[in-house]
């Protein structure tokens, strides 16, 4: 069937969206316009997505594709190229993906209307759009061949970058030969996408296009930038948010030749010929900081504020039925808490900047927000964005950290004091202690059960800082609600007749906040799935059966939960101090059911033995990528549940490196089975859902093994030692 009629991304075939141009050497250039039909919010009258050149087909038939999304390990270069290659009908091996330059006008996502990579939106945003432009290019090649041969376009077909005339001896013309003629044709008004049975790449597992160069070392990240005259800087910013430099003793630095001190009001940098020299220079400094009022804040005070916030009536994000009346029944109250978390990507923060004497600026680095990066640099320098040139690179991990631009601003400020280009590099310690942290949350929850064990009433009050407020400079939230903070809570998949979801903005003051892989569902799914297990116990029900009884409105989630129970051996008995835990969720447009199996030693050590995860992400592009994303996300979330915790003392983050901000290690990694089910629904996101599946399935498994409910992450192992179990 034609995909152009699918809900959620419909309407493009009825618009003039393709724009045509001539590439260097006489090839074809394709771009497209999109009306806002499939955007989530009202769109401007004219929404333009790269009117100049998304795709260039050269005379030799090679296809160059400027990828609007950033590659940070999630495989987006490959999956977006699959969409294009399939509909264009070219061999994927002939497609070269390149990072697109910064431009919201040209490369903004149809969903967010800005050039950014986050929120698990790459496939959801571009699935239909790229198929449309590929199909349009194919139609233009057929029309060009029909003109050249003087035949009807309907009699021709395409295959592997060629137009074929079967009726006349199977003669062929390559796309490269046809490109100059096709470039002169008008854009097609409508196109029909390939039927599912004719798809060659979409829905198939193909090898990653970026993998070979990542294996042989040719792949370039921001931290790899090299050029003549490049200097390198180590940086140290105030360890307390809002703090200032009080005094710098650089007497030892002066005896170290070739180094330059850059001292600003809130940060210090040492510039040298290489990073080691710059770091040794930084180590030689004696820096005194004035932390101000925030230097009085400790973690305990923040948790007291969160507890107080969770006891206050919040802004109502959703309310259905008569909640107060329903809670007069068999009531259960609980609270579940999640700590601040750092991102700690493999590639620490860095940016290379050259502030030139003519007032322009050139940038090199990796970011999840290309145009926001340009704006950050132009704002810092007080120049027009047109004077900023940005070269974006693949990211050595993002997880939401590189949605912020603080590293850009700081690098530009340092570069203003340096003659020539300078690469500013954060040490691991500086990276962890200067993060934009995932907010800490406290979920105060209440529920009531009917006599037959069904949930009748439900309240979920979320107290925590607002990332939306942070990125908008502290502007008041609309109706007092952070939409990200309540995501996952307002779309609780379980059928509950009476429910109310509230949000209480409780800012930590001494920490900068940012998006962290999973955002609101990270917190909401943990709280909801912990509560569901507690309620199942109260009702005397099996946790899986209890969930299934409440999923009448969610057939997709119900189906995969049943598969997860079967494939994990849910009903099979386990030895003492072993348990299985379940998590069922709908997040970012995808459904995932996960079962985790653990054993807990007498000393409270948790061994994660096996994880089974069933995924319904709608129409898939590359099943291997989905499986890899879910595996990585689960481990990322498990790491946080076991070890992740950012704490403050005197306003300073206490964690510094991987010795005290631990990651899961290879020997701790369990067997992970990911099964992707076939679906004809619209594509869902997949970069983040696995992350929110890990912690709740883990704590529920620990609960099954020990009878101890974990109310705050990370898991306190002392609670699990045998002497602590009642």
Q: H or E element: which one contains 178?
A: helix 175-182
Helix axes of 689-706 and 519-539: crossing angle, nearest 10 degrees: 30
Residue range 108-124, pLDDT digits in tens = 888 888 899 999 999 99
Report the pLDDT value the prediction gives residue 104, as an integer from 0 to 100. Answer: 87
The class (CATH top level) of 222-292+349-425 is alpha beta
Region 671-675 average pLDDT: 98
CATH architecture of 300-340+437-724: 2-Layer Sandwich (3.30)
Region 97-106 average pLDDT: 86
Report the pLDDT value the prediction gives residue 265, as an integer from 0 to 100. Answer: 98
Phi, psi (deg, nearest 5) at residue 505: -70, 120
Q: Do domains 3-215 and 300-340+437-724 have the same CATH topology?
A: yes
Average pLDDT of the chain, as a whole number: 91
Residue range 517-545, pLDDT digits in tens = 998 999 999 999 999 999 999 999 999 99
CB atoms within 10 A of CB 308: 13
Cα–Cα distance measured from residue 368 to residue 351, given in angstroms and rounded to the nearest whole number? 13
- Binned at pLDDT 50, 70 and 90, residue 44 comes out as very low
Residue range 345-362, pLDDT digits in tens = 999 999 999 999 999 999
Q: Cα separations (Å) of 47 from 20, 44, 110?
A: 17, 6, 8
Cα–Cα distance measured from residue 108 to residue 342, given in angstroms and rounded to the nearest whole number? 28
Report the pLDDT value the prediction gives residue 723, as an integer from 0 to 100. Answer: 57
Whether the CB-CB separation of 389 and 361 falls below 8 Å is answered with yes
Report the pLDDT value the prediction gives residue 62, as an integer from 0 to 100. Answer: 87
Instruction: Indicate the SS3 state at residue 693.
Output: helix
| CATH among 3.30.365.10, 3.40.50.300, 3.40.50.1000, 3.40.109.10 for 3-215 | 3.30.365.10
Residue range 405-441, pLDDT digits in tens = 999 999 999 999 999 999 999 999 999 999 999 999 9
Cα dihedral value 461, 464, 467, 473, nearest 10: 110
pTM above the 0.75 mark?
A: yes
Report whether pLDDT(704) > 80: yes
Q: Which residue has the tokens 């004809």?
A: 680
User: Domain limits of the chain?
Assistant: 3-215, 222-292+349-425, 300-340+437-724
- 485-520 burial code (b ≥16 CB/10 A, e <16): bbbbbbebbbebebbbbbbbbbbbebbebbbbbbbb
Residue range 218-269, pLDDT digits in tens = 999 999 999 999 999 999 999 999 999 999 999 999 999 999 999 999 999 9
Cα–Cα distance measured from residue 412 to residue 423, given in angstroms and rounded to the nearest whole number? 10
Residue range 592-651, pLDDT digits in tens = 999 999 999 999 999 999 999 999 999 999 999 999 999 999 999 999 999 999 999 999
Report whether pLDDT(127) > 80: yes
Weakest mean pLDDT among 138-147, 181-190, 419-428: 181-190
């Amino acid at each position: 069937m034609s995909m152009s009629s699918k809900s959620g991304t419909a309407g493009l075939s009825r618009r003039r969206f393709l724009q045509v141009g001539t590439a260097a050497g006489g090839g074809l250039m394709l771009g497209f316009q999109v009306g806002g039909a499939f955007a989530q919010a009202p769109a401007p009258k004219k929404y333009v997505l790269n009117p100049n050149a998304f795709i260039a087909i050269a005379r030799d038939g090679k296809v160059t594709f400027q990828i609007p999304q950033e590659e940070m390990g999630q495989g987006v270069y490959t999956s977006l190229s699959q969409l294009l290659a399939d509909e264009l009908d070219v061999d994927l091996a002939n497609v070269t993906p390149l990072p697109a330059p910064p431009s919201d006008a040209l490369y903004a996502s149809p969903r967010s209307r800005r050039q950014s990579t986050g929120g698990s939106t790459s496939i959801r945003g571009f699935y239909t759009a790229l198929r449309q432009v590929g199909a349009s290019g194919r139609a233009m090649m057929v029309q060009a061949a029909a003109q050249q041969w003087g035949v009807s376009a309907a009699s021709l077909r395409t295959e592997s970058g060629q137009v074929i005339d079967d009726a006349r001896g199977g003669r062929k013309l390559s796309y490269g030969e046809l490109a100059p003629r096709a470039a002169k044709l008008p854009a097609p008004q409508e196109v029909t996408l390939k039927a599912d049975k004719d798809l060659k790449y979409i829905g198939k597992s193909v090898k990653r296009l970026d993998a070979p160069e990542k294996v042989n070392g040719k792949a370039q990240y921001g931290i790899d930038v090299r050029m003549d005259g490049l200097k390198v800087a180590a940086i140290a910013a105030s360890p307390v948010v809002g703090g200032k430099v009080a005094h710098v003793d650089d007497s030892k630095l002066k005896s170290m030749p070739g180094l330059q001190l850059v001292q600003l009001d809130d940060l210090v940098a040492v510039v040298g010929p290489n990073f080691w020299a710059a770091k040794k220079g930084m180590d030689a400094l004696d820096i005194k900081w004035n932390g101000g009022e925030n230097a009085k804040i400790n973690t305990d005070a923040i948790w007291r504020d969160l507890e107080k916030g969770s006891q206050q009536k919040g802004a109502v994000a959703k309310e259905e039925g008569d909640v107060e009346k329903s809670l007069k029944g068999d009531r259960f109250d609980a609270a579940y808490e999640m700590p601040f978390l750092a991102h700690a990507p493999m590639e620490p923060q860095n940016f290379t900047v050259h502030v030139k004497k003519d007032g322009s600026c050139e940038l090199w680095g990796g970011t999840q927000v290309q145009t926001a990066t340009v704006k950050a640099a132009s704002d810092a320098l007080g120049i027009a964005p047109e004077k900023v040139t940005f070269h974006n690179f693949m990211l050595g991990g993002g997880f939401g950290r590189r949605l912020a631009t603080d590293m850009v601003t700081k690098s530009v400020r340092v570069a203003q004091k340096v003659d020539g280009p300078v690469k500013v590099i954060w040490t691991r310690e500086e990276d962890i202690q200067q993060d934009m942290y995932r907010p800490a949350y406290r979920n105060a929850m209440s529920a009531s059960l009917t006599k037959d064990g069904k949930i009748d009433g439900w309240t979920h009050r979320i107290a925590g800082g607002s990332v939306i407020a942070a990125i908008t400079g502290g502007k008041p939230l609309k109706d007092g609600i952070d939409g990200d903070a309540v995501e996952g809570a307002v779309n609780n998949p379980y059928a509950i007749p009476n429910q109310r979801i509230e949000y209480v903005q409780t800012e930590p003051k001494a920490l900068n906040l940012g998006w962290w892989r999973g955002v609101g569902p990270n917190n909401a799914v943990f709280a909801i799935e912990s509560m569901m297990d507690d309620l199942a116990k109260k009702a005397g029900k099996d946790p899986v059966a209890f969930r299934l009884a409440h999923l009448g409105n969610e057939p997709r989630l119900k189906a995969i939960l049943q598969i997860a129970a079967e494939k994990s051996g849910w009903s099979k008995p386990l030895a003492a101090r072993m348990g299985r835990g379940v998590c069922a969720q709908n997040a970012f447009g995808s459904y995932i059911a996960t079962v985790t199996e653990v054993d807990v030693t007498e000393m409270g050590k948790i061994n994660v033995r096996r994880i089974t995860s069933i995924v319904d992400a709608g129409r898939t592009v590359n099943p291997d990528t989905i499986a890899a994303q879910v595996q990585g996300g689960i481990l990322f979330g498990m790491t946080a549940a076991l070890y992740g915790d950012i704490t403050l003392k005197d306003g300073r983050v206490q964690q510094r490196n991987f010795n005290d901000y631990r990651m899961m290690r290879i020997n701790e990694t369990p067997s992970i089975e990911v099964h992707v089910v076939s679906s004809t629904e619209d594509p869902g996101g997949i970069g983040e859902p696995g992350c929110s599946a890990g912690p709740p399935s883990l704590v529920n498994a620990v609960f099954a093994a020990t009878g101890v409910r974990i109310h705050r992450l990370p898991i306190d192992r002392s609670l699990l030692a045998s002497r602590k179990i009642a």
